[in-house]
Amino acid sequence: MKRFAWLLSVALFSSAIAQYPGAQPVPSDYKAGFDAILKEDIKKWIEYLAGPECEGRGTGQPGYKKAADYVAGYLQRFGAKPLGDNGSYFQHVPFFEARADNAKTFMAFNNLKLSAGREINVLSGAGMGEEEAEIVFVQGGGDARLEPNEGFSGKIVIVFGKNVNPQLRRQTTFGSLASFTVVEKLGETTWTLARGPIPDKPPTGIGAVRGEITLEAAQRLAKALGVPDSIAQMPDLSKGAFANRFVATEKVKITTASEFRAAFVANVVGIIEGSDPELKAEFVGVGAHLDHLGKRGNVVFWGADDDASGCAAVLGVAKGLHENPNKPKRSVILMFFAAEEAGLIGSRYLTDNPTFDLSKMTSEFQLDMVGRNEENRTEKASDNEDTIHLVGTRRVSNDIHDLMQEANKYVNFKFEYDEEDVYGRSDHINFARKGIPIAFLFSGFHPDYHQPGDTVDKINFDKATNASKLAYIAVSMSANRTEPFKKIEGN
């Protein structure tokens, strides 16, 4: 009993502090939903999405799938029906992964066969093909350089040496048929993500293969081709040294093939149906992008602000609508976009291949980075506790600008208008492009933007919660409004 009372008081306290001073009391029609958007929830959602499970939600990476399952689970819990492919919450955006097919990839000279996965490893550029080519052995560790005009067009290049400098690496790969770096131990044959449906058959031809070869195999190949022992070594040469190179007199055969698999890159979409028998056929959209930069090597880009904060805010809108007894007249579509960081790909796909009648969407509200205090050379973070940028509200319709002012009376953010330059930089632009009035909420840039330091501990949870409450009110008002949005000419 005591514990329960304590929890209850925490909940009341947290919802009470979320609005900023001077905010008006929330109209009774919206109050239950508004109060249901809790800082505790927003925090929990951001912690998961920007936490170790999701590993930065990289496009095509396992962490993205986990994030998609997570938000889809909450859509279901909050009564949103699936609006993706085949009755699911997922609208799949065509992507696939490719890598060298190790069983069919090898280099050969006479009886010597160097197989992928054992002696060589092809990291990129494997189409389906077979070629015979001249082979050049280069010894150039450390600072060793080649003559600047030395080229390897159409050749296979084997590069020996420790700590090969980037310039030599570029020179030995540029234009070559294949370039193999000599290593002690092969790395993994990694999958590379590509756009489009899985190809029926691999592209033909070998082009610009990049790979690795074990020292043992490279030395065996060198010996078979009569390359001097002094070349097939791994030195770390000093400054000013020239790299040695040796062109074998006989050609070597290289055979490559690739394999494909589907990649999970999906928008997550759900709909809370409107209460009005006619207006429910019209939609109000609210969205955030679910992807971030993911894991690159061993570094995770967590994307707590960008855009776990916006996703949590959209979940907050879903919860608010679910818990409010007065249901909105129009239907509300909740969207978590895929592959935003790669160029707004998910939202572009959704607006070009909508799973609903897009012409019936009256407005779209976008939340991208709503959890930090803007910080730059001229503005201190501590001066931006309660500021947020309102972007794009005078592009398609001025009415949505007025609606945002009205909605903000109940939250009382200090709106800033000096980031209109980011108008083209998030998913709403794909809706605006279709003539749909948009409002974009963005708390601003900070030193951790697109850095591994965009972590949960730096989030301003009051702000993210208030962004969610503001979006909830704005979405509700838009879903209930009687007048259509008047469009600015040209939209």
- Using CB under 5 A as the binding rule, whether residue 305 contacts Zn ion is answered as no
What's the min distance (Å) between Cβ of 310 and Zn ion? 7
- Nearer to Zn ion (CB atom), residue 55 or residue 119: 55
What's the min distance (Å) between Cβ of 226 and Zn ion? 57
Residue span 359-398 as binding mask against Zn ion, x where in contact by CB under 5 A, dash where not:
---------x------------------------------
What's the min distance (Å) between Cβ of 368 and Zn ion? 4
- Nearer to Zn ion (CB atom), residue 78 or residue 301: 301
Q: Which of the ranges 8-16, 82-90, 131-139, 301-309 carries the binding residues for Zn ion, by CB under 5 A?
A: 301-309
What's the min distance (Å) between Cβ of 392 and Zn ion? 14
Q: Roughly what angle, to the nearest 10 degrees, separates helices 310-323 and 62-77?
A: 20
- Using CB under 5 A as the binding rule, whether residue 454 contacts Zn ion is answered as no
- Nearer to Zn ion (CB atom), residue 136 or residue 311: 311
- Nearer to Zn ion (CB atom), residue 282 or residue 306: 306
What's the min distance (Å) between Cβ of 253 and Zn ion? 48
Q: Which of the ranges 37-45, 248-256, 299-307, 439-447 carries the binding residues for Zn ion, by CB under 5 A?
A: 299-307
Residues that bind Zn ion (rule: CB under 5 A) add up to a total of: 3
Closest CA to 125 of 171, 184, 190, 182: 190
What's the min distance (Å) between Cβ of 303 and Zn ion? 8
Q: Roughly what angle, to the nearest 10 degrees, separates helices 310-323 and 39-49?
A: 140
- Nearer to Zn ion (CB atom), residue 30 or residue 337: 337
Q: Which of the ranges 32-40, 95-103, 237-245, 307-315 carries the binding residues for Zn ion, by CB under 5 A?
A: 307-315
Q: How far is residue 453 from each of residues 311, 379, 384, 439, 464, measured CA to CA in Å?
A: 19, 19, 19, 28, 18
Q: Which of 305, 306, 375, 448 binds Zn ion (CB under 5 A)?
A: 306
- Nearer to Zn ion (CB atom), residue 157 or residue 313: 313
- Nearer to Zn ion (CB atom), residue 260 or residue 301: 301
Task: Please report, as residue ranges, which positions from 160 to 179 form the binding site for Zn ion (by CB under 5 A).
Answer: none
Burial of 415 (0-12, 13-18, 19+ CB in 10 A): middle
Q: Which of 35, 55, 119, 307 binds Zn ion (CB under 5 A)?
A: 307
Q: Which of the ranges 109-117, 234-242, 300-308, 401-409 carries the binding residues for Zn ion, by CB under 5 A?
A: 300-308
What's the min distance (Å) between Cβ of 56 and Zn ion? 13
- Using CB under 5 A as the binding rule, whether residue 291 contacts Zn ion is answered as no
What's the min distance (Å) between Cβ of 396 and Zn ion? 21
- Nearer to Zn ion (CB atom), residue 347 or residue 408: 347
What's the min distance (Å) between Cβ of 90 and Zn ion? 20
Using CB under 5 A as the criterion, which residues of the chain lie in contact with Zn ion when the complex forms?
Answer: 306-307, 368
